[in-house]
Amino acid sequence: MAFDLVFHNATVVDGTGNGRITASVGVSADIIEKISTTGDFDGHQVVDATGLVLAPGFIDAHAHDDNALFQTPFMPFKISQGVTTVINGNCGLSLAPLNSLENAPPPLNLIAKNGKQFFSSFESYFSSLDEAPSSVNSVCLVGHSTLRFSSMENLDQPATDREISLMNTDLVRSLEQGAIGLSTGLFYPPAKAAPTEEVIELCKSLVSYNGIYVTHMRDEADGVMKSIEETARIGREAAVEVVISHHKCAGKNNHGRSLETLAKIDEIGEYLNIGLDAYPYIASSTMLGAGNENRASKVLITWSDGMPEAANRELSELVQSLGLTAGETVERLMPAGGVFFTMDENDVQRILKHPKTVIGSDGISGYGHPHPRLWGTFPRVLGHYSRELGLFSLEDAIRKMTYTTAQRFGIQNRGIIREGAFADLVLFDPKTVIDTATFDSPMQEADGIHFTLVNGEITWTNGRHTGARSGRVLRGRHV
Ligand code: ZN
Ligand code: CU
């Protein structure tokens, strides 16, 4: 018999961290049917994969593609990197469950351009995605800030008991409908006033659904240790697994402190299931006006509604040319987003290398001048950090983008190459794979990605998108 598609003589890296083998892999429909080192089987389509690596499709552990799945369903910035699944709903921000608003207030405007893009339930969000599929698979967390917007009168205060119970009702319904956990963005204004106890009360609802708690912590700068302790307390008291999002030590004072933070995370790991994700850059990116501009050595404006022509300019330049103070300039630009150079390369490398760290882009699309992580994260880890710097082996790099991520987030039968798993696959050249997106020119396809398959459909080949939209909504956390 012949398979639909065969990769002959590929260097197969299965995602688990196991060493590479040379094998042929047969795919039929959406399943990896056969892996053989003898390779004597046929396909309706055969790809000679000599010298190329076949890996599980990458899983973006930290995405904000909630709305991009509708706005840019071909998802070229992910597919061109070999990403086949995204984890959305991060940093406290999800499109559901929330009735439409007048407009989308910051930081919800990172995922929604207007108030009509929200969904009153995960059921309606997911079924809209089922009806208009994108090119990637997606799973989604429930955003704590979204819950707050939907249930609270005054976001500058802790939630009352009644508001907590309203949020819990929404959260439980969302989990029943397939959301995989709760995310917070305790750093951001809509959630800043939430005490630890509010989050613990919500996290208790996760337990019966195997839900996970994922957090953009209250403080990633001077208070980073306290924030890690807060995260551990939430996990311990609610008895849930936790993930620290885009772990970093921001601001010059804190450079080098990943030695402390990672030791703390290891210590917590003795009694709590804890994970973390990171992206391979020394600059972050989010809304302007939340304080990041004060501890960055340089700020690049990514977009501005107040002054659209400011995109791609440096904040310090704008301060000069406008003759305003930094604070006044920020006011003038808002609502706006920026790229903030706040990290130290040694910390970035130490964090990427930690065995629990998985790779998440934190990319935000839909703006003229995004952070290059949106188009470059995964090939950069492979090409720059693994091949060029030798920070970790290719097998380990791939593990951090596939199997470990799938295990952490409860994604079944993906993130691994084995017979019977879903055929989410990427074929790339290990000698040339590299990101080309830069801070100056951030919207550029990576080099070296030959094929991306999503549920068995060839979606990227020879530097072009095939138009396939075979992505699925993956409901529930399976552990
Ligand atoms: Zn975040
Ligand atoms: Cu984020």
Residues 33 and 180 in one domain: no
Residues 348 and 325 in one domain: no
- The confidence score (pLDDT) of residue 367 equals 80
Which residues lie near ion ligand 1 (Cβ < 5 Å)? 91, 216
Q: Is the peptide bond before 56 cis (omega within 30 degrees of 0)?
A: no
Q: What is the pLDDT of residues 296-331, one digit of tens each?
A: 999 999 999 999 999 999 999 999 999 999 999 999
Q: How far is the CA of 185 from the centre of ligand 1 (A)?
A: 6
Q: How far is the CA of 371 from the centre of ligand 1 (A)?
A: 14
| Boundary residue ending a domain (298, 324, 340) | 340
Q: Is residue 359 part of a domain?
A: yes
Place of tokens 């990605």: 449
Residues 6+ apart with CB under 8 A from 130: 472, 473
Q: Is residue 43 part of a domain?
A: yes
Considering Cα of 42, then 47, then 49, then 50, what sign does the dihedral take?
A: positive
Residue 257 has pLDDT above 80, yes or no: yes
Q: How far is the CA of 39 from the centre of ligand 2 (A)?
A: 43
To the nearest whole percent, how much of the chain has pLDDT over 70?
Answer: 100
Q: Is residue 13 part of a domain?
A: yes
- The confidence score (pLDDT) of residue 38 equals 87
Q: How far is the CA of 296 from the centre of ligand 1 (A)?
A: 16
- The confidence score (pLDDT) of residue 31 equals 98
Q: How far is the CA of 282 from the centre of ligand 1 (A)?
A: 15
Q: Minimum-distance ligand to the CA of 371?
A: 2
**pLDDT band of 41, cuts 50, 70, 90:** confident
Q: Is residue 85 part of a domain?
A: yes
Q: How far is the CA of 246 from the centre of ligand 2 (A)?
A: 7
Burial of 30 per CB tally in 10 Å (0-12, 13-18, 19+): middle
Q: How far is the CA of 459 from the centre of ligand 1 (A)?
A: 29
**Which domain CATH number covers 13?**
2.30.40.10
**Which domain CATH number covers 258?**
3.20.20.140
- The confidence score (pLDDT) of residue 368 equals 76
Place of tokens 């989410």: 424
Q: How far is the CA of 321 from the centre of ligand 1 (A)?
A: 31
Q: What is the pLDDT of residues 44-66, one digit of tens each?
A: 999 999 999 999 999 999 999 99
Residues 194 and 208 in one domain: yes
Q: Minimum-distance ligand to the CA of 187?
A: 1
Residues 124 and 206 in one domain: yes
Q: How far is the CA of 374 from the centre of ligand 1 (A)?
A: 14
Residue 39 has pLDDT above 90, yes or no: no
Residues 85 and 70 in one domain: yes
Domain count across the chain: 3
Residues 214 and 359 in one domain: yes
Residues 23 and 97 in one domain: no
Q: What is the pLDDT of residues 134-152, one digit of tens each?
A: 999 999 999 999 999 999 9
Domain that holds residue 333: 287-340
Q: How far is the CA of 375 from the centre of ligand 1 (A)?
A: 18
Q: Is residue 417 part of a domain?
A: no
Whether the model clears a pTM of 0.95, i.e. scores above it, the answer is yes
Q: Is residue 63 part of a domain?
A: yes
Distance (Å, whole) CA 13 – CA 219: 37
Q: How far is the CA of 90 from the centre of ligand 2 (A)?
A: 5
Residues 453 and 322 in one domain: no
Residue 40 has pLDDT above 90, yes or no: no
Q: Is residue 422 part of a domain?
A: no
Q: What is the pLDDT of residues 181-205, one digit of tens each?
A: 999 999 999 999 999 999 999 999 9
Q: With left for phi above 0 and alpha for psi between -120 and 50, is residue 15 left, alpha or beta?
A: left
**Which domain CATH number covers 317?**
3.30.1490.130
Q: Compute the average pLDDT of residues 4-27.
A: 97
Residues 207 and 333 in one domain: no
Residues 229 and 257 in one domain: yes
Residues 210 and 101 in one domain: yes
Q: How far is the CA of 255 from the centre of ligand 1 (A)?
A: 19
For 69-84, letters b (16+ CB in 10 Å) and e give beebebbbbbbbbbbb
Q: How far is the CA of 335 from the centre of ligand 1 (A)?
A: 17
Residues 146 and 162 in one domain: yes
Q: Is residue 472 part of a domain?
A: no
Q: Minimum-distance ligand to the CA of 217?
A: 1
